[in-house]
Amino acid sequence: MYATPLALITAFRAQSRDTIAPYLWKDSELYEFATQAESLVAFRTMCLLDITSVAAVADVSAGEPMVDLHHSVLRIRSATLIQGNTEQELDIKSLEAASGYRLFTTTGTPCAVITGVETNKLRLYPIPVADATLQLAVFRMPLLPLTATSKFEVPFQYTGALIEWMRHRAYGKVDSDIFNPSESAQGLAAYENLVDGYITSESLRRGGAQNVSISYGGI
């Protein structure tokens, strides 16, 4: 397990005996692999729950039912409409479940948020008649790429899988001095084994399967 992205990169170079310049892999390549690894762990485990970042808060404008859904959002766990000092919890429904709604003509204070209407969009029902804030609780992907000065978003105990994914990607590079399909396959197998364990851990931590509404990429 690794405390920082820099520690992860340093460990990978030591493990692969790539510690003397000119390096087999550029720093930019390794941080790209690490960023992808962190995103995949977050995607597979649903370990990033958020109510405070830009992914969880959106402005609502009077007369405009469509609200942007941040590209990092994987699932919406809850939605609340905030108007002044008033909070109203919204139902989360798929477009199919809202088939009886008059989505394009009914106005009022929203009571539901509809998923699956447009890519990276949510639709409020009824169409709002006043400005408000939409507060979400979401499972999401990491917001920014990893760098030498950044921090991991996935939990510390899950960073062990990242170096295995990096091994898979690094040794899968088509290069006569690097390409090693056996080493790449071993990295992938080790990554999958670790992530399977993380998924079990997340399920136990949250008390089993969660009844959450999927809302990602308009699906």
What does the pLDDT look like over 98-148, one tens digit per residue? Answer: 999 999 999 999 999 999 999 999 999 999 999 999 999 999 999 999 999
Position 219 scores a pLDDT of 31
* Domain match, 132 and 162 both: no
Residue 112, domain member (yes or no): yes
Measured CA to CA in angstroms, residue 217 lies from 44, 71, 74 at distances of 16, 7, 8
The CA distance from 121 to 155, in Å, is: 28
Q: What is the pLDDT of residues 29-86, one digit of tens each?
A: 999 999 999 999 999 999 999 999 999 999 999 999 999 999 999 999 999 999 999 9
Domain count for the chain, please give it. Answer: 2
Please give the full DSSP string across 49-62, using - where no structure is assigned.
EESSSTTTEEEE-T
CA 42 to chain centre: 5
* Domain match, 119 and 72 both: yes
Residue 162, domain member (yes or no): yes
In which domain, by residue range, is 149 found?
A: 5-47+141-209
Determine the 3-state secondary structure of 186 from DSSP.
helix
* CB atoms inside a 10 Å sphere around CB 69: 24
